[in-house]
Amino acid sequence: MTSPLFSRRAAMVAMGASALALAGCNSVSGSAQRAATIDTRVDAALAFLDSDVPGARELGEKAAGVLVMPLQTEASFGFGGAYGRGALRVGGATIDYYQATQASFGVQIGAQQYAHAIYFMTEEALQNFRNGLGLTAGGDLKLTMADNAQQISAETLTAVDPVIGVVFGQAGLIGGASIDGTVYNRIIP
């Protein structure tokens, strides 16, 4: 025969385990919901890029993979920072999620939002990115600004650069957008 104290403890332990299990299900459900939101935004950003920037679709077809950051938000007042989330697509399917962070300092004030896509033009560049601890945009990245329906140049489309970045959809009060110095890290949304 079990004591009433033991039964209450067993019931409390069972309730606690149930609550933890439900919390785990809730976070998995929340993660799936966040992933779906990122995917929806990436789809919209790619549709905008392909329809509004001549040459973007051709660049995407040549690429081994593309990292799309559909919304990068930047703000500064002397010190600045930027943050965004996006997805790495290979063959049109999402294979990983990433966050982009950037910090800056200088004579700057304002806020803006923009989107950008990083095209990995070789399988080696894509694998180096996926196997690394994160990519820092800068020296290895050829950057193309594609605002106001500008065309991606023929030079960009025929370039032998392994990684090409395209900034588009800029809106805000800071002059110019740059992804130089941006750090990309894989996340679980």
Compute the distance between CA of residue 63 and CA of residue 90 in angstroms, rounded to an integer: 9
The verdict on residue 165 lying in a domain is: yes
Could you report the per-residue pLDDT of 100-142, keeping only the tens digit for each? 998 877 766 788 888 999 999 999 989 988 987 555 555 455 5
> Does the pLDDT at position 150 exceed 70?
no
Which of 105, 49, 66 is CA-nearest to residue 82?
105
Residue 37 belongs to some domain of the structure? no
Residue 123 in domain: yes
According to the model, what pLDDT value does residue 23 have? Answer: 45
134 is a domain residue: yes
Residues 72 and 116 sit within 8 Å (Cβ to Cβ): yes
Give the range of the structural domain holding residue 96, as residue numbers without chain letter. Answer: 48-187
The reported pLDDT for the residue numbered 16 is 46
Residue 145's beta-bridge partner residues? Answer: 167
Amino acid at 117: A
Looking at the chain, list the stretches that DSSP marks H as alpha helix, in order from N- to C-terminal side. 4-52, 56-62, 123-131, 154-157
The answer as to whether 107 is a domain residue is: yes
Residue 124 in any domain: the answer is yes
Overall number of domains in the chain:
1
Q: If you average pLDDT over every residue of the chain, what do you get?
A: 76
- Structural domain contains residue 94: yes
Domain presence at residue 108: yes
